Structure 1
């Protein structure tokens, strides 16, 4: 599979999209999928055919650890 940042998410076949249990009932969710090469795709659940952002595992690890450390809490105020 040839993946690129911003590709239509519908072109990512044979992937399992997952969203947080904390997602709200109005469908405002971010979904993630592991790709065959180990990278992670991200899409907006309201636009499942829209663009997918592709990140390396290292980039996702940095994001998750930053979230856990509270580095982005000021964005939620």
Structure 2
């Protein structure tokens, strides 16, 4: 796998396993995540599987997940 970078084509991430929440719907409106060999986390939109992937550190994803669990983003779901 080549160097990863924000906005890279998700199709270029061929050696990763994409995962989505079991709460995702059947219309393909899902956020998918994949662990990268260097420990980073890639994020893509399942409607555009070949489209851009955003690359985050484990600490960035950890902060997001903890914020979601604490309800910091509940206002976005109204």
Query: TM class by shorter-chain length?
Result: over 0.9
TM-score, structure 2 normalization: 0.97
Partner residue of 2:62? Answer: 61
Give the superposition deviation at 1:15. 0.3
**Separation in 2 of the partners of 1:21 and 1:8?**
24
- Unpaired runs of at least 5, structure 2: none
Runs of 4+ in 1 over 6 A off after TM superposition: none
Give the superposition deviation at 1:13. 1.4
Partner residue of 2:49? Answer: 48
User: Structure 1, residues 3-48: CA drift from partner, whole Å, max 9, x if none?
Assistant: 0000000001110000000000111000000000000000000100
What pairs up with 1:13-24 in 2 under 5 angstroms? 13-24=14-25
**Separation in 1 of the partners of 2:15 and 2:64?**
25
- Unpaired runs of at least 5, structure 1: none
